[in-house]
């Protein structure tokens, strides 16, 4: 584990990714305590105050401190994306490994249906689901998880299929091992790495999708300081107060970049090809 971490941060993208994520983690954990102002405190005189000593990153249309909202908002943005990805990945992984292990026509039927569901664009599926479940951050998380599961299932299955064809699995079957042992001890440990890498990269999509849903008004709801919602709110004032738009947009982009970098870094660090 430590060895992996060292290998990870030895690469520039791994180092940048880990550093950014550390910052984000600090914001998620201590944002509330560190924020200079209460994130929802309105200030009539401070409306559209540009960045300066009073509000380091400026203030929004209610005179709320953008830095504080950003720091507190990290908690309503990043963990949501993580949860959505985790739930979606777990569901997808179970479907994928199960389908690969079952094989044959069952596998065919599961995967064709899975592909069919994937034909509905993720955002559309999420939109429909949120409309059904009702607007809100929690429902957006569910919707993203559902939208992610088929893709994860497909990825996992292809990896699992490859693992299932490995001789050590065949050896286990020839030996007369049970299905549980083969799935959990022989196959699963060997599909974990690709799943973790893929999920890490998908977190960045989840961050963006979550922000997009909030932007479209069906995700997090005011007065939450979710970043996508902040962008949506600031958009109508973007000429008066562009900082209100640029700051949360940059936060979303940096978070997405961080997870992308981490995913790529992990992929490299876990790739046995680079080992001499």
Partner 1 sequence: MLSVTRRLFLAGTAISLVTLPRIAVADAPKRGGVLRMSLDQAASVIHPMLARVNPEYLVTELLYSNLTRLKPDMTVEPDLALSWEPNETRTEWIFKLRPGVTFHDGSPLTSEDVVASINAILDPKTASPGRTNVGPIKEVAAIDPLTVKFTLSGAYADLPVALTYLNARIVPAKVIASDLASLSTTANGTGPFKLVSYEPDRKIVVERNAVYYDPARPYLDRVELLVYPDRTAEASAMMSGEIDLLLTTTPGEYERLVKAAGVKALRTPSGQFLNINLGCDQKPFNDVRVRQALALAVDREATVGFVAGGYGTPGNDTPLNSAYHFYKNIPMKKPDVAKAKQLLAEAGYPNGIDLTLIASDRPATRTQLGVAVREMAAAAGFHINVQTMPHATYLDQVWKKGNFYVGFYNMQPTADAIFNLLYTSNATWNETRWNNSAFDAVINAARVETDEAKRTALYAKAQEMMNAEVPTVISAFFDLLAAQRSYVEGYTLHPRGSVFRLDLVSLGAGAPKRG
Partner 2 sequence: MIPALAVKNYTLDYATAAGPVRVLHDISLQIGPGEVLGLVGESGSGKSSLAWALMRHLPDNAREIAGSLHLGDIDLQRLSPRELTRIRGRRLGMVFQDPSTSLNPTLTIGRQVTETLIQHRGIKQREADVLAVDLLSHVELRDPAAIMRRYPHEISGGEKQRVIIATAFGCRPDIILFDEPTTALDVITGARILELFARLREETGVAALYISHDLALVTRVADRVAVLKHGRLVEQAPAAEIFRAPRHADTQALVQAVPRPERRLIHDKSSDEVLLAASDIEVHYGRATLLGHAPPPATKRIGLDVRAGEILGLVGESGSGKSSVARALTGLAHFSGKVRFDNREITDARDMNAAYRRDVQIIFQHPDSSLNPRQKVSEILSRPLKLYGGNTAEIPRLLEQVRLPTSFADRWPHQLSGGQKQRVAIARAFAARPKLVICDEITAPLDVSVQAQIIELLLALRAATGTAFLFITHDLNLIRQIAHRIAVMRRGEMVDLLPAEDFDAEHVHPYTRELMAASPVPVG
Partner 3 sequence: MSLAWFARRLLLMVYTVIVVSMLVFAITQVLPADAAQSLLGENATPEMLAALRAKLGLGAPAWQQYLRWAGHVFTGDFGISMRTSQPVGPEMLSALSRSLLLAASSILVTLVVAVPLGVVAALRQGRLADTGVSLIAYLGVSLPEFVTATLLALLLADTLHWLPATGYVSPLEHFGDGISHLALPVLTISVILIAHVMRMMRSETLDVLKSDYIRAARLKGLPERSVLFRHALRNALLPVVTIIGLDVGYLLGGIIVIEEIFAIPGIGRALMVAIAARDLPSIQAGALIMAATYAVTNTLADMAYAVLDPRIRYD
Do 247 and 239 form a contact (C-beta atoms < 8 A)? no
260 scored as a contact of partner 3 (CB under 8 A): yes
Site for partner 3 (CB under 8 A): how many residues? 42
Measured CA to CA in angstroms, residue 51 lies from 55, 144, 242, 246 at distances of: 6, 34, 10, 12
Cβ closest to partner 1, residue 6 vs residue 238 = 238
Measured CA to CA in angstroms, residue 198 lies from 52, 119, 131, 155, 245 at distances of: 40, 20, 28, 8, 30
Cβ closest to partner 2, residue 186 vs residue 226 = 186
The CA distance from 170 to 165, in Å, is 7
139 scored as a contact of partner 3 (CB under 8 A): no
Rg over alpha carbons for the chain, rounded to the nearest Å, is 22
Shortest Å, Cβ 76 to partner 1: 15
23 scored as a contact of partner 3 (CB under 8 A): no
128 scored as a contact of partner 3 (CB under 8 A): yes
Measured CA to CA in angstroms, residue 205 lies from 97, 176, 188, 199 at distances of: 23, 42, 25, 10
- What does the angle CA 257 – CA 263 – CA 264 come to, to the nearest 5 degrees? 90
Cβ closest to partner 1, residue 131 vs residue 165 = 131
Query: Is residue 253 exposed (0-12), middle (13-18) or buried (19+ Cβ within 10 Å)?
Result: middle
Footprint on residues 224-243 left by partner 1 (CB under 8 A): 235-240
Residue 137 in tokens: 């951050």
Please identify which residue in 88, 92, 122, 244 interacts with partner 3, judged by CB under 8 A: 122
Shortest Å, Cβ 236 to partner 1: 5
Cβ closest to partner 2, residue 41 vs residue 170 = 170
218 scored as a contact of partner 1 (CB under 8 A): yes
Do 73 and 227 form a contact (C-beta atoms < 8 A)? yes
Please identify which residue in 232, 241, 247, 269 interacts with partner 3, judged by CB under 8 A: 232
Question: Given the rule CB under 8 A, which residues bind partner 2?
Answer: 104, 166-168, 170-177, 185-186, 189-190, 272, 275-276
Shortest Å, Cβ 170 to partner 2: 5
Could you list the residues that contact partner 1 (CB under 8 A)?
Answer: 40-42, 44, 47, 61-62, 131, 134-135, 217-218, 221-223, 235-240
């Amino acid at each position: 584990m430590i060895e992996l971490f060292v290998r990870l941060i030895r690469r520039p993208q791994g180092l940048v990714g880990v550093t950014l994520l550390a910052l984000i983690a600090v914001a998620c954990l201590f944002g509330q305590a560190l924020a200079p102002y209460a994130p929802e405190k309105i200030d009539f005189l401070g409306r559209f105050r540009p960045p300066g000593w009073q509000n380091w990153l400026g203030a929004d249309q209610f005179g709320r401190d953008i830095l504080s909202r950003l720091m507190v908002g990290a908690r309503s943005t990043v963990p949501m994306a993580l949860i959505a990805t985790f739930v979606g990945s777990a569901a997808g992984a179970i479907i994928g490994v199960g389908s690969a292990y079952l094989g044959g026509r069952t596998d065919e039927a599961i995967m064709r249906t899975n592909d069919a569901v994937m034909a509905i664009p993720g955002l559309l599926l999420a939109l429909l689901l949120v409309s059904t479940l009702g607007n809100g951050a929690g429902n957006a998380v569910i919707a993203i998880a559902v939208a992610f599961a088929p893709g994860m299932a497909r990825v996992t299955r292809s990896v699992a299929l490859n693992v299932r064809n490995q001789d050590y699995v065949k050896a286990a079957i020839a030996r007369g091992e049970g299905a549980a042992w083969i799935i959990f001890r022989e196959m699963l440990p060997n599909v974990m790495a690709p799943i973790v890498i893929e999920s890490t990269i998908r977190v960045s999509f989840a961050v963006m999708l979550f922000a997009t849903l909030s932007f479209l008004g069906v995700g997090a709801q005011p007065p939450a300081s979710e970043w996508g919602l902040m962008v949506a709110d600031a958009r109508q004032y973007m000429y008066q107060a562009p900082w209100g738009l640029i700051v949360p947009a940059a936060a979303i982009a940096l978070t997405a970049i961080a997870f992308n970098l981490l995913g790529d870094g992990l992929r490299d660090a876990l790739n046995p090809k680079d080992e001499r």
